[in-house]
Amino acid sequence: MQVKSTSQFLRVRVIAARLDVSVATIYRAIESGKLPAVRVGSGRGALRVPAGAVDAYVASCQSSGGDAA
């Protein structure tokens, strides 16, 4: 089955590198519900974050003084 989507999904480590923060910071944002993510694969799976959600998360960090994580 092929899934067509206009949304790009990013890995946690890629987001952390782009934002110059630790991977743990991104996982905390995901666990707190401030950054939505989907689990892909079997078992524990891999977390992927929609690119648009990263933009929204950064905007929320800017509007809240940087304490969104």
State which H helix or E strand residue 38 sits in.
strand 38-40
- Residue the block writes with tokens 């998360």: 57
Mean pLDDT (the chain) is 87
Q: What is the pLDDT of residues 49-68, one digit of tens each?
A: 999 999 999 999 888 776 55
What domains are there in the chain, each with its CATH number? Answer: 9-63 (1.10.1660)
Does the pLDDT value for residue 4 go beyond 80?
Answer: no
Query: Quick one: tokens of 69?
Result: 């994580």
Instruction: Judge if pTM exceeds 0.85.
Output: no
| 3 state DSSP class of 49 | strand
Percent of the chain with pLDDT over 70: 83
Given a cut of 80, is residue 7 above it in pLDDT? Answer: no
Q: How far apart are CA 37 and CA 60, in angstroms?
A: 16
E strands, 1-69, in order: 9-11, 38-40, 46-50
